[in-house]
Amino acid sequence: MSQNAYHDNDHNPTLIVVQNDGTNLVNILANPSTHVLNVSDGTTGSDNGPKTSRHDASNVRVLMATSSADGITPIAVYGDSLGELLVDSV
């Protein structure tokens, strides 16, 4: 089931990304004490994401990045079902 971004009191949306299954959306979580994002490092996988930016039911766009290969192409950023941002630090 796809998630919707939550909003603060000023109506700013929280961080939402494409889940690594390529079909659902997931809210990225942070530690409430340290304010640090939950991440899963060393992630590898396949391109399951959309080629254009997705939106939740409230029309909030998911996080997109720019391709490291050409510096131009928009790339969907993935998260997992635990609300962790998937990263691969090199």
DSSP type of residue 83: S
Query: Each residue of 22-67: pLDDT tens digit?
Result: 888 999 999 999 999 999 887 666 666 666 778 888 889 889 888 8
pTM of the model: 0.81
Give the number of other CB atoms < 10 A from CB of residue 2: 14
Poorest-pLDDT segment among 17-21, 45-49, 77-81: 45-49
Give the number of other CB atoms < 10 A from CB of residue 70: 7
Give me the pLDDT at residue 84, please.
92
Give me the pLDDT at residue 89, please.
75
pLDDT of 13 above 60: yes
Give me the pLDDT at residue 1, please.
47
Question: In whole angstroms, what is the distance from residue 69 CA to residue 90 CA?
Answer: 15
